[in-house]
Structure 1
Amino acid sequence: MLRTLVAAAAALSLSACFGAPEVMKSGGGKKRIASTPKRPQVAGTPSFNSPEAQQCAVDLKQAGVKFTPLPNQDHGGGCSSIDSVKLLDVGVPTTNLGAMTCPLARNFAAWAQYAVRPAARKYFGQEVVKIETFGTYSCRNIYGGRSGRLSQHAYSNAIDVSGFVLADGRRIMLDGGWKGDKASQDFLRALHKSACRRFGTVLSPDYNAAHYNHFHMDMSGNGYCR
């Protein structure tokens, strides 16, 4: 038992420099996660008890992603945060990051490092200095849907990305950029294509009116990309 606790603690230690393990580059972590996080037995219990969660923490550590593990929480109304983290540094400053399931955090960090940054260099010849989002956890139903089902945001299992800030101060936003100049269109579509390889569900402005100004990315589904 002591050895198990020590191993789990080591898996959650933080690292300061960004590495490049294959699981982060390729998006191979997508297939290892469940569609919806399990509800906790007791609110406020420690997270990262399962082997899958502990491996996810190891992946983040090996990639040099700075994060803080969060306690499991049952927020009521069917909403929860299970095996979730607070991302502190993914290599690119990112706004509005709240609780995220570890698999979502792992794949978002990889997307930021190995898709967003190279795409900015390719299409604009400069660095991305900020990723702007509408946030992660939110206890609510699916936007634009009639099913009354909870959104993956209600499980801390989704993130909405609204735009990007370049080194010269230019903002490439989904609202306007998706149908904007050629460079913006090419950049955003390249990121959409990459996201579809890393996340279970990706929704763009082409999906419906509720997504006109952001990419919705979550770890449910099995490669649903619109």
Structure 2
Amino acid sequence: MSRSIAILLLALLVTACGGRSDRETVQRDNGAFGTELSRQCLASLKAAEVRFTPLPNQNFAGGCRTIDTIKLMSFSPEATNLGPMTCPLAANFAAWAKHAVRPAAQAYLGSEVVRIETMGTYNCRNINGGRSGKLSEHAFGNAVDISAFILRDGRRVSVLNGWNGRSDERAFLRRLHQSACKRFGTVLGPDYNSAHANHFHFDMAQSMKDGSAYCR
């Protein structure tokens, strides 16, 4: 074997062994989603004039992954801290923001919601902070946590303070919780456990299994 061939083989071996760490990016054409459901979802977002960017598929350590996810770019009202979201989650979140959050704010608070504060979407972790041993839907970009709503008049209505706060804020937040149960597979709030005292958790897992919702 010549010296040049041996060097080439050694370089290939090093690349194969050390080229991946805890993440692997699977390349695909922009928007070429793997399932018919996802492709239909993208079409529905475009029809609703929601701007988004398809993201590359990625596999992470520990079984976490973001497959057929998007980044929401523009919808009303806007939301903070949104990372990778499965298309069904993103579509339902954008529709909930438009058709539930906006009218509920006018009805109960007499003002318009201009921004939804979230605690993020993708997070490679287990359910209940690791105690369950089962990956959270956040580990797949299939969940979002909502913490507060900013009104045009400057008020901030948080789940932590509003759930048992003023009567109008209580009514507003409970209305949003109830409406979310019609759109998401799993909806958890302050009445579920202390870990959710400061946010709503929405994901699509239960509805993907049997079409029903788990609402607490």
Could you tell me the TM-score, scaled by structure 1's length?
A: 0.79
Unaligned runs of 5+ in 1: 1-41
After superposition, give the CA deviation of every residue in 1:122-147 in whole Å (9 maximum; x if it has no partner): 01111101100000000001126742
Alignment of 1:69-88 (within 5 A): 69-88=54-73
Q: Secondary structure at the match of 2:79?
A: coil
Q: What is residue 224 of structure 1 aligned with on the other side?
A: 214
C-alpha distance in structure 2 between counterparts of 1:157 and 1:56, whole Å = 14
C-alpha distance in structure 2 between counterparts of 1:192 and 1:115, whole Å = 10
Structure 1 moving runs of 4+ over 3 Å: none
Pairwise CA RMSD of aligned residues?
A: 1.2
Say whether 1:101 aligns with 2:91. no
Q: What is residue 155 of structure 2 aligned with on the other side?
A: 170
Unaligned runs of 5+ in 2: 1-23, 207-211
Q: Secondary structure at the match of 2:91?
A: helix
Alignment of 1:16-165 (within 5 A): 43-46=25-28, 47-143=32-128, 146-165=131-150
From 189, 194, 215, the equivalent of 1:209 is 194
- 1:154–1:144 Cα change, 3 Å: closer
C-alpha distance in structure 2 between counterparts of 1:96 and 1:178, whole Å = 22
Partners of 1:160 and 1:217 within 8 A in 2: yes
Amino acid at match of 1:78: G
Deviation at 1:92, TM superposition (A): 1.1
Amino acid at match of 1:65: V
**Larger Rg belongs to:** 2
The structure, 1 or 2, with the larger RCO (C-alpha pairs under 8 Å, 6+ apart) is 1
Q: Secondary structure at the match of 1:52?
A: helix
Residue range with higher mean Cα deviation, 78-87 or 49-58? 49-58
Could you tell me the TM-score, scaled by structure 2's length?
A: 0.83
Q: What is the identity percentage for the equivalent residue pairs of Structure 1 and Structure 2?
A: 59
C-alpha distance in structure 1 between counterparts of 2:145 and 2:35, whole Å = 27
Deviation at 1:57, TM superposition (A): 0.3
After superposition, give the CA deviation of every residue in 1:12-54 in whole Å (9 maximum; x if it has no partner): xxxxxxxxxxxxxxxxxxxxxxxxxxxxxx7323251321111
Amino acid at match of 2:27: T
